[in-house]
A and B are shown apart, each in its own frame.
Chain A
């Protein structure tokens, strides 16, 4: 009880400090400072204010594994870890980051991650690869398209262009349910869940009224499914009955409260209706996308969301999401509650990063690079003594459960004969792409982790007793197990197994424990090797990005 009380006090102190900092938000650090320095400046300031000394930087092997999982989506191959540990250059981490950012698997992993979050409430287990949306995202990350451009593509897809078809999936899968489209688009792109305001003015955010929900809904109210394409009318508006008062026409209003002057907020005349129907029917007949309306409300939404002075929601939301992915916690929590009454843990930092992102054309790769080069990102995940400090201080690296794809690919990387995964970039990437492709089925066995994710007993049972998984990972040629079997010395076997599966050198007591285990099974070497690899794969250390 006392502990939690103390914790609350610390939190209160921090947020008080943060609130003060926000008052002087005009004095942000200069825009030309490197992102990583700015991150550390603000994070360290909050730590100092809370009188917390952060955990030391993680060791090289841990950093290597963390970067590999975050940037390219799987644990490093044995040879990659070995090279990194052996390198002595002082800038070896920067070099590693730049190598990973340039790898083809970087674009694939980002596309995978964005695919998952864009799907929002859809079935998260749906295989991503080979879907049009994944293809679109992959192309986008390959050429490092700005996030503003991707947003525009997804809101205003040019369905005539084959390469752009995937961008339309976001709308297409939701357009039949305008409420859902409104809520999902606001959550995904603007970091705000307006669903509370559907039925009543927001209970906690006094500035949010039902107009905010119905105002956002107005932007989508003219969109509909027309023969498999997303079409938009020139007319149509949203009417609703507020809690208090009579039915009204919702204003076309952005989250900032900016209302737009919009033509067509009235019932169309017969003539107008006829003309519009002709425009839409034409497309339907030819099975081509319908011509766009003269005045597109969705285009207005994009324009408004990206306009200077209005773009805070859009920029801060994506910064917060990327931060959340890399740090296991957002600067604002929860991710869909980025409103005025829910302060960021580091308001100036969030503001600086958002400003920087806008100034650099929403370049996500640049943002990611800056964040992972910070000291805050590179801290150890162990808290040696006493209670863990509040999470929002980022004093210690937060454990993040591997996503289904990270898990599925890493399992295969860990159990493949390490000598067959050479460090030669091109060659390795080809192997990895093959592994990724064959891992989607395996990925469907795992659950997408959310905040406060819990590992299920079914997962433990699956690892413990499932014969297919055992066959895929531990049996047959070309596996780590075969390699271990060929190694006659138990200590060296143990070390190789730990290095390959856990991506770090083994500790003496681990070599001892594993060697003893092998020793007692001298009559069944293969089974024994399978069992030690199993024990490493199912350890918490493997399950998490730490």
Chain B
């Protein structure tokens, strides 16, 4: 079958929404033009827009401390200097470094019982981006690529997977990786500039740019006749998306946001990138990762967290408020996650080291039972006392929150590869 792609950049949201509902997960072509035109009516489009699921991952690279964020232990020998404060949910306390999130816990579930057994930056980051440890001979895709595949759409004019990571520390530890899903689901990586690479026209007039692409299409089409395959279709498809992606440049431009909104997110790079992430998911990008580095506080843990946690608090709280005001929080999952947490023991440099035995993360928004805590670490935070979960269960929970069947299989050759290993159950307690 030759695939046809809608050339029009109009009614973008409605088309994505339509396909998202009808054909999520498949390699859906933009099959029926009339159906799509019919869906262009504004009221339907708004409805569909609400239904399309998306996800923002705030990636705390290097390993943020659970004791200075979601799981404080004031008074314990391992507790450190900061206090715990009461949140808007009776009985739940978090670090005093997060006053805003304390007031706004209603959409967030805290998980305090991760035991992921791997405290090496590289392989732990790889595992926490994929929900499974590395396996020889199997190049498993990361969360962004899986969500691009499950939630993204064939003819989308916006990217399916965007990753911000400006810091140099740790960048190579968890690079975006589409694995066996293929380059179609690879990330648009932003390493140095808020605007993606090669998205701007360069030394050629607008008209020549368009007509040159038309000539390319004409010459290429003669060849494509009678030669259909996934690979060759991906070639024409990639070029058919170029103009759409170029037009999405504006999405990356936070200068278009009102000053009031920009002030809310704050002047930091992390704040700006998270604002860009909100703009992107609003336009239908299914997955954005914002990397904030470098939390690896082997020395001066408390100064590091005193500086970085309040920023996280402001940015995360603002993001949730902003998404809610736009009616997007119900369909957008916000994850805060790192490769591991930090040791309860405080070392001689007043630092905390790598620790994967009892640490925390949070899930907010789409599909999540807000204002809840799952699992418990013991009095000093050395071990999980209750509700231990691993990376696979966390990912099953993420998939379920986004309406994706976590038992689904991909196939690599004849080998079925499940999204999460058989028998893995999501954490029902944190799902709405």
Which A residues lie at the B interface, using CB under 8 A? 120-121, 177, 179-180, 183-184, 187, 193, 195-196, 204, 333-334, 336-337, 342, 381-384, 388, 398-399, 401, 447, 449-462, 464-467, 470, 507, 509-510, 513-514, 517, 521, 527, 531-532, 534-536, 538-541, 543-544, 546
Contact = CB atoms under 8 A, between A and B. Distances in A.
Contacts of B228: 388
Contacts of B223: 539-541, 546
Contacts of A453: 182-183, 231, 234
A509 B222 CA distance: 10
Given A454-B184, A456-B186, A121 B136 contact: yes
Nearest to B239: A460
Given A179-B136, A399-B232, A467 B215 contact: no
Interface string B220-231: 101111111111
A-B complex: 4 closest residue pairs judged by Cβ atoms: A456-B183, A334-B413, A454-B234, A460-B238
Given A456-B186, A461-B242, A539 B202 contact: no
Given A531-B215, A535-B219, A544-B232, 6 more contacts: A454-B182, A460-B242, A514-B215, A532-B215, A539-B219, A544-B235
Query: Which of B198, B199, B229 has the most CB atoms of chain A within a 10 A radius of its CB?
Result: B198
A412 B165 CA distance: 33
Contacts of B239: 460, 464, 538
B235 A531 contact: no
A527 B231 CA distance: 31
Contacts of A465: 198-202, 246
B244 to A, nearest CB: 9
Interface stretch (B43-51, B125-133, B203-211): B203-211
A479 B214 CA distance: 24
Contacts of B117: none
26 contacts: A177-B136, A184-B136, A187-B137, A388-B228, A399-B227, A399-B231, A450-B180, A453-B183, A455-B238, A456-B186, A458-B198, A461-B197, A461-B242, A461-B245, A470-B202, A514-B215, A527-B208, A534-B212, A538-B216, A538-B239, A539-B216, A539-B223, A540-B224, A540-B227, A546-B223, A546-B227
B219 A513 contact: yes
A384 B226 contact: yes
Nearest to A401: B231
Contacts of A121: 136-137, 139
B20 interface: no
Nearest to B200: A465
Query: Which of B209, B227, B232, B245 has the most CB atoms of chain A within a 10 A radius of its CB?
Result: B227
B141 interface: no
A214 to B, nearest CB: 15
Contacts of B83: none
Given A383-B226, A458-B183, A527-B204, A464 B242 contact: yes
Contacts of A401: 231
A195 B135 contact: yes
A499 to B, nearest CB: 14
B29 interface: no
B202 A180 contact: no
A510 B159 CA distance: 33
A454 B183 contact: yes
B231 A334 contact: no
A379 B137 CA distance: 33
Given A195-B137, A466-B202, A541-B223, A455 B197 contact: no
Contacts of B200: 465
Contacts of B245: 457, 461
A257 to B, nearest CB: 22
A535 B137 contact: no
Contacts of A179: 136
A337 B186 contact: no
Given A453-B231, A544-B232, A336 B186 contact: no
Nearest to B1: A3
Nearest to B182: A454
B414 interface: yes
Nearest to B178: A456
B227 A383 contact: yes
Contacts of A541: 219-220, 223
Given A121-B136, A184-B136, A464 B232 contact: no
Given A383-B226, A531-B212, A456 B198 contact: no
Contacts of A184: 136-137
